[in-house]
Homo-oligomer: A and B are copies of this chain.
């Protein structure tokens, strides 16, 4: 089949612009007439340094990242970020002015707050328990993971209301996931389901997993965050690289923290300070993944940046939710997320009430690909990332309407 016959709704790894892939294919064999492919060039040579610094500058400008933040490229995906957040932010807490001079015996492990709104924030919390809070008393406790809100009782079909947030006192950080890829809930831009920044004292670091909505629209209140991270394989590029935006005061020497006592030693590849000091080139980076990200970023800049993406992505989501709401009335299919303002623009989750296999079979026949929901929840899911065009969205809507015989 040709690319033009296929409409790819994968949740990640997900579609990339054809023009980018074609350019990357040329660069893979011969990068800009060097006679060598991009994967065959030194990561410390001028070609790759130009690519990585260009990517950094484009993220800086697309998201209006303030100058007191660093933009880093890391490996290991969101899963490794779950761990490195704990390691780096507990080290920063240990080295803060109120704690640094305490002897290890007087240092009290801090609370760390997690807002659980779906599968990914739940996994992030599990890693906090796993790393910080042993199941026996033989090992030290490094922090007390605290659940500040949890929508699991709703089946993750909505977000917490403002009064449901119960933050602990003075946590080392507060963690949330802006868009839950598997469940299809997303913090909204401005209403009761926006993130409750105003409930949080400004000195508490706020950490956000933006993996599946990064670069799909502007980041509200970016400067109220301490850390924002995103696996590339949604809107940005191929799997294998993770972008980290971190406020510079949180780039700390984890070895110094370890020597003070009361913190977990940090693997060297996970220390943000070392990454930042080396411009994400402390060790060999995932060259090709960063190269493709750089090409995607250039195209985003050319196409009008975040405000333009916001407009298109809002329209795409609106169209799919409209047909789902329509067919719901005749009980054929329905959106999973009942609270409309908590619905994700990026990942539309839906139930097929009867003849589910027929729905997917018909979709395949029409070139609509990778529409199955995550294996942990089933049903259907249409991911509407940046590279999914309006024409693909319309094809999907047509099939939903046809299948439901409306």
Contact = CB atoms under 8 A, between A and B. Distances in A.
A78 B1 contact: no
Interface stretch (A50-58, A160-168, A281-289, A312-320): A281-289
A83 interface: yes
A62 interface: no
B138 A104 contact: yes
A41 interface: yes
Given A3-B36, A238-B287, A134 B75 contact: no
Interface string A79-91: 1101110010000
Q: Helix, strand, loop or mixed for chain A's interface?
A: loop
Interface in A126-150: 127, 130-132, 134-136, 138-139, 142
A264 interface: yes
A211 to B, nearest CB: 10
Given A21-B28, A77-B75, A287-B239, A10 B258 contact: no
A259 B80 contact: no
Given A130-B255, A267-B131, A39 B13 contact: yes
A14 interface: yes
Name which of A13, A127, A264 has the most chain B CB atoms within 10 A of its CB: A13
A260 B22 contact: no
Contacts of A2: 30, 35
A215 to B, nearest CB: 17
A134 B2 CA distance: 58
Interface residues of A, number: 90
A84 to B, nearest CB: 7
Contact of A282 (B10, B79, B139, B261): B79
A40 interface: yes
Given A12-B284, A77-B283, A134-B259, A39 B292 contact: yes
A6 B29 CA distance: 12
Copies held by the complex: 2
A260 B138 contact: yes
Contacts of A41: 10, 13, 370
Contact of A240 (B5, B11, B36, B75): B75
A158 interface: no
Contacts of A134: 255, 258-259, 261, 265
Contacts of A44: 375
A24 interface: yes
A310 interface: no
A21 B38 CA distance: 10
B80 A269 contact: yes
A306 to B, nearest CB: 23
A330 interface: no
A179 B331 CA distance: 65
A233 B41 CA distance: 11
B77 A269 contact: yes
A154 interface: no
A136 B260 CA distance: 7
Contact of A36 (B6, B42, B82, B238): B6
Nearest to A132: B265
Nearest to A130: B255
A43 interface: yes
A8 B231 contact: no
Nearest to A12: B284
A239 B41 CA distance: 11
8 contacts: A3-B36, A13-B42, A13-B287, A25-B29, A76-B80, A131-B267, A134-B255, A138-B261
Given A83-B268, A239-B287, A240-B287, 6 more contacts: A22-B29, A36-B369, A130-B268, A239-B288, A240-B240, A240-B286
